[in-house]
Amino acid sequence: ERTQVAIVGAGPAGLLLSHLLHRRGIASVVLESRSREYVEQRVRAGVLEQGTVDTLVEAGVGERLRREGLPHHGIELRYGGRGRRIAFEKLVPGRRITVYGQQEVVKDLIAARLADGGPIRFEVSGVAVHDLDSAAPSVTYTGPDGEPVRLECDVIAGCDGFHGVTRPSIPDGVLTVYEREYPFAWLGVLARVRPSAEELIYAQTERGFALHSMRSPEVSRFYLQVAPDENLADWPDERIWEELRARLETVPGFTLATGPVIEKGVTPMRSFVVEPMQYGRLYLAGDAAHIVPPTGAKGLNLAVADVRLLTEALVSWFSTGSAALLEGYSAACLKRVWRAQHFSWWMTTLLHTFDSDDAYGRRLQLAHLDYVTTSEAAATTLAENYVGLPYESDP
């Protein structure tokens, strides 16, 4: 089998890349180890930057997103017995975020690819990439019925997430890793209950961080800061609600509505970047190249920004033979990647409880929160990063 671009991974990065390339006349094959049902049900991020929404709408996959996505014009920071709003409409006029589940984006992209006849091979195993430093790279894998396949291609896109195979296939000594681990994880909870607030609540408490988000008028999404090695079995639904109440019912008049828990899981928190994001004919995009702690809601949005740049670079190379954009791909991505790294680390330290903090450290955190929520300059820093800075190529 042969294609122009072999894409490993059918997450948001791989699927969007395949779709954007198709619209520009470039063929690709997407290889995914999980089943279609699995990737469509996997609950993850939910906050889309304006630029991400615009990218999906312009690419013709934003119809349901426009109908069902929830536009938000602010968030609340809750701490010290009160809530303070970061008002996007005032601080960053005309910019907003949209709450729409990542798995809904994935469903929309899969539907579009399949409608266009785009090959997505689900449930493949043993994916391996070969001859990355040659002009004729290839990918081998085992199909769902056990048949061995070699896919020849011009380039390979590594969109297989943090635990994928493409990044580890780059020879030793090529990549520099920048990394930080955090001494906590997030317990994510999806519940069939109406949201208890109209906007997202980021809560800092002495018991740890809590986030109240949502998916629809009937479904709420919550996160709790927990120990890094937290055992899900220790979190029956009653304990989840009890802890969410303790961390969120901290301001007068706020009551948390509760309901059946639909899904729960523990996500470790890390910051991670590899440089460069490419080697020979392999280009990494999204979580395969970088991870942020989720507090800034940047992971999915960064994947989209990478894919926009990779699409333009590939279109330029296939249509004119010029490799200039491809050669500059990693450098072009990394500017936004590092801005998001800083913002995500900053939001994480602003809002989480660090056991290592002494009394002085806790006072500093409160001073930081007071400043961010009362100074227009500081609040604007949060707001402009949260809604998403313009793409480099924007005017």
CB 277 within 8 A of CB 284: yes
Q: Which of 294, 301, 329, 348 binds ligand DHB (CB under 6 A)?
A: 294
What residues pair up with 179 in beta bridges, in sequence order? Answer: 272
Q: Does 248 bind ligand DHB (CB under 6 A)?
A: no
Q: Which is nearer to ligand FAD, 11 or 51 (CB)?
A: 11
Is 72 a catalytic site residue?
yes
Question: Which residue has tokens 């180890």?
Answer: 33
Pair type for strands 210-216 and 219-226? antiparallel
From the centroid of its chain, how far is CA 311? 19
DSSP state of 2: B
Of 207, 195, 209, the closest CA to residue 295 belongs to 209
Q: For the chain, how many helices (H) and strands (E)?
A: 12, 20
Q: Which does 51 bind (CB under 5 to 8 A by kind): ligand DHB, ligand FAD, none?
A: none
Pair type for strands 28-31 and 120-121? parallel
Q: Which is nearer to ligand FAD, 23 or 36 (CB)?
A: 36
Q: Which is nearer to ligand DHB, 31 or 211 (CB)?
A: 211
- The 177-216 site mask, x for binding ligand DHB (CB under 6 A), equals -----------------------x----------x-x---
Catalytic residue among 100, 202, 223, 279: 202
Q: Does 91 bind ligand DHB (CB under 6 A)?
A: no
Q: H or E element: which one contains 76?
A: strand 74-79
Q: Which does 287 bind (CB under 5 to 8 A by kind): ligand FAD, ligand DHB, none?
A: ligand FAD
Is 279 a catalytic site residue?
no
Q: At what angle do helices 329-351 and 299-320 cross, to 10 degrees?
A: 180
- Closest contact distance (angstroms) between CB of 284 and ligand DHB is 22
Q: CA-CA distances (angstroms) from residue 119 to 30, 157, 168?
A: 6, 15, 25
Is 202 a catalytic site residue?
yes
Q: Which is nearer to ligand FAD, 160 or 275 (CB)?
A: 160
Nearby residues of 327 by Cβ (< 8 Å), 6 or more positions away: none
Q: Which is nearer to ligand FAD, 77 or 320 (CB)?
A: 77
- The 31-50 site mask, x for binding ligand DHB (CB under 6 A), equals --------------xxx---
What values do phi and psi take at 352, rounded to 5?
-95, 160
Q: Does 221 bind ligand DHB (CB under 6 A)?
A: yes
Q: Where are the alpha helices (DSSP H) in the chain?
A: 12-23, 36-41, 50-58, 63-68, 88-91, 102-115, 237-248, 299-320, 324-327, 329-351, 359-374, 376-387
Q: Which residue has the closest beta carbon to ligand DHB?
A: 46
Q: Which is nearer to ligand DHB, 21 or 47 (CB)?
A: 47
**Cα–Cα dist 239/139, whole Å:** 46
Q: Which is nearer to ligand FAD, 31 or 282 (CB)?
A: 31
Catalytic residue among 212, 294, 329, 352: 294
Neighbours of 44 (CB within 10 A): 17
Is 294 a catalytic site residue?
yes
Q: Does 295 bind ligand DHB (CB under 6 A)?
A: yes
Residue ranges binding ligand FAD (CB under 6 A)? 8-14, 31-34, 39, 44-45, 102, 127, 159-161, 163-165, 267, 286-287, 294, 297-300, 303
Q: Does 348 bind ligand DHB (CB under 6 A)?
A: no
CB 259 within 8 A of CB 192: yes
Q: Which token pair is 33?
A: 């180890």
Is 264 a catalytic site residue?
no
Instruction: Please report, as ranges, the residues that interact with ligand DHB according to CB under 6 A.
Output: 45-47, 200, 211, 213, 221, 294-295, 297
Q: Catalytic amino acids?
A: 72, 202, 294, 298, 386
